[in-house]
Amino acid sequence: MCTFWKHVLRGTFSFLALSFVVLPGCREHSPDTAPVTDVVTLTYWPAPNPQEVAFADTIVRQWNRLHPRIQVRMQSIPVSVSTEEVLLAAIAGGTTPDICSNIWPGALHEYTRAGGLLRLDRFADFDSVARSRTPDPLLQTFRSPDGGFHQMPWKTNPVMMFYNRTLFEESGVELAPRTYSEYFAAAQKLTRDRNGDGIIDVWAGERDIRPIWWQRLFDVFPFTIAASGGRTLFEQGEPAFATPATEGVFAFFQRCYAEGYYPHTYFAGGDPFILEKKATQFSGPYLVATLQSLAPRLRFGVVPLPVPDDHTGPVHTYGDYKNIAIFTTTRYPAEAWEFVKFMVDARQDLLLLTVANQLPVRGDLLTNRMFAPYFEKNPMIRSFAEQVPYTRGVDAAPDLKELFDALSQEYESCAVYGRKTPSQAVLDAQERIRAIVDWNR
Amino acid sequence: MNAHSHTDTPRHADRVGYALVSPYVVFFLLFVGYPLIFSFVLMFHRWNIVTPMEWIGLRNFERLLGDPLFYASITNTFIFLFVHIPLQLAAALGIAVLLNMNVRFRGFFRTLYFLPVVVSGVVVTILWQQLYAYDAGLLNRLMTALGAARIPWLVNPDIAMGSIAIMATWKNVGIYIVLFLAGLQNIPSELYESASLDGASPAARFFRITLPMLNPTVVVVLVLSTIGGFSLFIEPYVLTGGGPMQSTLSGVLYIYYQAFNFGHMGYAATLGFVLAVLVFAVVVLQRKSVETEGTV
């Protein structure tokens, strides 16, 4: 026994000693870094998906070549249940990187409450950099409750309506619906029993009937933004969505279930849009690549979300934003800010489009000639780019997951089961959300 | 010398005694004492595990009083108990009485009824999910084959909790059959002989002798079923996730969601404390109302 433990201890000490000797040695001989004394090294965490890692790798190489004294080390966010959990754990442990480009605005409150993020408007040129890229009304939606900016708006995935052209043509629906009435008229034709066995084979649409909080980011929330002309759930820190617009959205989905246009079940065994069991789907631009690779024969189009019949002006929607932030643990805030500015430069935005197929939050996305060749090659993505100026993010409120959970439950009671009127469900949701927010103050 | 050795021996014995109980003391302090004290401290804090704790006084209790989901989860738990406990008592007692008779393959049947108790709760729940499935579940296929309408076992908010109660009864009935069998075997046979001689019918013997003599076992089964019912978790977590319309959200499931879905450790501790007080109150009431004189 004693000999065994001696061996274990000796082995452990040898390994640790070797690590101390070898690892720093490896670092010193890395070809990308200059002598330690002169060089500032920043750590940058991009999202762990392959496209973004490829993009991050490209820009870090460019930066390191151009800035020998400020070297950036790229390491994708450690894989976990969610980026938010990893970042919160890193903030608690003081192990955050200098920069991260996968900041979901919905989790920003948790990060700032934990004192994890640096205010970016402390840098003198923040305003000019941010405003030159992002339209001001949109930029203001990223302001933190303390009045500052802790994030640089970076990329967005606007939620739009995909529709199956073949199913539309088969049903005699010529145009994609733009309003609720047009949607119901189309839904009546689209929902049908194709083989006459008494069972519906094609549905106008379908949503997961379980009250899963993030599902609301693809139906109630973007529809509310669209119906209200760009308003979200909160106004000046208070829940303020019990409006006719939100009630109309709840009523819209309630009717979809009540009239049988949406099934009261969930599909197992594959995406019903890919399987051509439903004619419409609400999703972001990432679905384009998925459809093209998994269902190359599927003919589809993309249009803005349906809006109330009396709606005027552009159609807004939810943009699933991912932004850039600098953490308070950085020893080199000025250098980190320089790298952030480099990341949001037009040339890097072009790379974001071409390498990762993701839309930068730019006002000139469709007017800047630099991006024109990309959109000529990718006309479907152009539809999403047209939506970018009219996208909104989630509110900077605490506990967004629980807030959307409460909203989901009221939506379920009203729309899926028809047990509450739209006005009652919306009012109850607002009251429940207010209670959660008050508890968090 | 003698006196010296006399004083030494007990001290040595004390030390050995302390050494022998120390594993339990350490276990108790680590896994019972510390969590209990920590959860009491948590009740007055807001804490999401990763960021520092924040003292919020009684606000967790304030929130609980105005939380519709808390009331819904408690109501659901009582609905579960309302279906589950009578079903459990009747099934366990009925089967125990049958198994106490001179039936063939008695040992085999006793083992068979106990089997679900030793099978993992998650496995049992997944099996019942296949039985209860609305479109292609075995039960609904049977209903369709018989020409009846399909039953929305788990997708109708009005009957989902009842479906879970039936499943929980099937899972747990074995343990209560064993308790009732032990109780039945403790009833002196002379009582039945004497009653038979007096002309008492089988029903009279059951209601006048068996049931009163089983009262202590009934109390135990009632208390254990109630406590088990209040800790309902695996079944709704796996089968329904608390839906549809929160109709199967049990007290413990809600605590789990608050703690591990939303990171509200302090609020979850408060919910746990209130639930524990509620269980205690219900069990005391039950004992007072069911226990008869002479019941231990």
| Residue B58 is assigned to a structural domain of this protein | no
Kindly give, in sequence order, each residue whose CB lies less than 8 Å from that of residue B179, ignoring residues fewer than 6 positions away: B92, B217, B220, B221
Tell me phi and psi for residue B284, to 5 degrees.
Answer: -60, -45
- CA B173 from chain centre, in angstroms, equals 11
- Mean pLDDT, rounded, of chain A: 87
| A110–B135 CB contact, under 8 Å | no
Which of B43, B55, B130, B155 to substitute to test the interface with A, most A CBs within 10 Å?
Answer: B155
Residue A16 has pLDDT above 50, yes or no: no
Q: Does B261 touch chain A (CB under 8 A)?
A: yes
What pLDDT score was predicted for residue A1? 40
What pLDDT score was predicted for residue A14? 42
Q: Select the more confidently predicted residue: A26 or A129.
A: A129
- Angstrom distance (rounded) from CA B245 to CA A428: 14
Residues B162 and B92 in one domain: yes
**Nearest CB to A439; choose among B63, B68, B245:** B63
A335 neighbors A210 (Cβ within 8 angstroms):
no
What pLDDT score was predicted for residue A201? 86
- Angstrom distance (rounded) from CA A361 to CA A343: 12
Tell which residue, A272, A165, A284, has the closest CA to residue A221: A284
What's the first-to-final CA gap in chain B, in angstroms?
52
Partners of A399 on chain B (C-beta within 8 Å) are 262
Residues B31 and B108 in one domain: no
Q: Select the more confidently predicted residue: B288 or A332.
A: A332
- Angstrom distance (rounded) from CA A411 to CA A253: 9
What pLDDT score was predicted for residue A155? 93
Kindly give, in sequence order, each residue whose CB lies less than 8 Å from that of residue A39, ignoring residues fewer than 6 positions away: A33, A68, A69, A70, A71
Helices (H) and strands (E) in chain B, counts: 15, 2
Tell me phi and psi for residue A172, to 5 degrees.
Answer: 80, 20
Tell which residue, A87, A84, A39, A85, has the closest CA to residue A64: A39
Rounded to 5°, angle at Cα A327 from B53 and A95: 65
Q: Which chain A residue's Cα is nearest to B243? A: A210
Sign of CA dihedral A337, A341, A344, A350: negative
- CA A237 from chain centre, in angstroms, equals 21
The alpha carbon of residue A192 is apart from the nearest alpha carbon of chain B, in Å, by 19
Beta strands in A55-118 (DSSP E): 70-74, 99-103
Residues B240 and B272 in one domain: yes
State which amino acid sits at residue B70: F
| Residue B296 is assigned to a structural domain of this protein | no
pLDDT band at A210 (very low <50, low <70, confident <90, very high): confident
Residues B103 and B215 in one domain: yes
Domain that holds residue B215: 66-290
Residues B154 and B17 in one domain: no
| Structural domains of chain B, count | 2
Residues B23 and B92 in one domain: no
The domain that holds B190 is classified in CATH as 1.10.3720.10
| Residue B51 is assigned to a structural domain of this protein | no
| A92–B262 CB contact, under 8 Å | no
How many Cβ atoms are within 10 Å of A55's Cβ, its own excluded? Answer: 25
| B68–A110 CB contact, under 8 Å | no
Domains of chain A and CATH, by start:
29-150+322-360 (3.40.190.10), 160-319+396-440 (3.40.190.10)
A155 forms beta bridges with A322, A360
| Residue B52 is assigned to a structural domain of this protein | no
| A210–B241 CB contact, under 8 Å | yes
What pLDDT score was predicted for residue A337? 97
B3 forms beta bridges with none
Residues B15 and B157 in one domain: no
What pLDDT score was predicted for residue A431? 94
A190 neighbors A171 (Cβ within 8 angstroms):
yes
What pLDDT score was predicted for residue A28? 36
A42 neighbors A98 (Cβ within 8 angstroms):
yes
pLDDT band at A11 (very low <50, low <70, confident <90, very high): very low
Q: Per residue in A269-279, pLDDT tens?
A: 678 999 999 99
User: Is residue A283 within a helix (H) or strand (E), and if so which, with residue range?
Assistant: strand A280-283
| Residue B15 is assigned to a structural domain of this protein | yes
What ipTM describes this predicted complex? 0.74
Residue B161 has pLDDT above 90, yes or no: yes
- Mean pLDDT, rounded, of chain B: 88
Q: Per residue in A39-88, pLDDT tens?
A: 899 999 999 888 889 999 999 999 999 999 999 999 999 877 678 888 88
Q: Which chain B residue's Cα is nearest to A428? A: B68
How many Cβ atoms are within 10 Å of A379's Cβ, its own excluded? Answer: 9
Instruction: For A100-140, give the DSSP string.
Output: EEEE-GGGHHHHHHTT-B--GGGSTTHHHHHHHHS-HHHHH
| Residue B56 is assigned to a structural domain of this protein | no
Give pTM, 2 decimals.
Answer: 0.79
- High-pLDDT (> 70) share of chain A, %: 90
- A81 exposure class (CB count in 10 Å sphere: 0-12, 13-18, 19+): exposed
Partners of B270 on chain A (C-beta within 8 Å) are none
The alpha carbon of residue A46 is apart from the nearest alpha carbon of chain B, in Å, by 22
Q: Select the more confidently predicted residue: B13 or A78.
A: A78
Residue A3 has pLDDT above 90, yes or no: no
| B50–A401 CB contact, under 8 Å | no
Residues B16 and B155 in one domain: no
Residue B56 has pLDDT above 70, yes or no: yes
- Angstrom distance (rounded) from CA A138 to CA A149: 13
Q: Does B246 touch chain A (CB under 8 A)?
A: yes
| Residue B92 is assigned to a structural domain of this protein | yes
What pLDDT score was predicted for residue B293? 52
Residues B31 and B118 in one domain: no
Residues B178 and B254 in one domain: yes
| A435–B66 CB contact, under 8 Å | yes
- High-pLDDT (> 90) share of chain A, %: 63
| A439–B59 CB contact, under 8 Å | yes
| Residue B295 is assigned to a structural domain of this protein | no
The alpha carbon of residue B19 is apart from the nearest alpha carbon of chain A, in Å, by 23
Residues B202 and B145 in one domain: yes
B172 neighbors B232 (Cβ within 8 angstroms):
no
- High-pLDDT (> 90) share of chain B, %: 51
Q: What's the mean pLDDT in B144-170? A: 90
Residues B195 and B106 in one domain: yes
pLDDT band at A212 (very low <50, low <70, confident <90, very high): confident
Tell which residue, B294, B283, B89, B103, has the closest CA to residue B179: B89
pLDDT band at B8 (very low <50, low <70, confident <90, very high): low
How many Cβ atoms are within 10 Å of A17's Cβ, its own excluded? Answer: 10
- Angstrom distance (rounded) from CA A279 to CA A171: 10
Residue A433 has pLDDT above 80, yes or no: yes
A134 neighbors A301 (Cβ within 8 angstroms):
no
Burial per residue of B182-202, b for 16 or more beta-carbon CB atoms within 10 angstroms, e otherwise: ebbeeeeeeebeebeeeebee
- A334 exposure class (CB count in 10 Å sphere: 0-12, 13-18, 19+): exposed
A240 neighbors A233 (Cβ within 8 angstroms):
yes
The backbone region for A338, taken as left when phi is positive above 0, alpha when psi lies in -120 to 50, beta otherwise, is alpha
Residue B230 has pLDDT above 50, yes or no: yes
The alpha carbon of residue A211 is apart from the nearest alpha carbon of chain B, in Å, by 8
The alpha carbon of residue B274 is apart from the nearest alpha carbon of chain A, in Å, by 18
Half-sphere exposure of B190 (CA within 13 A, CB side): 1
The alpha carbon of residue A83 is apart from the nearest alpha carbon of chain B, in Å, by 14
- CA B175 from chain centre, in angstroms, equals 11
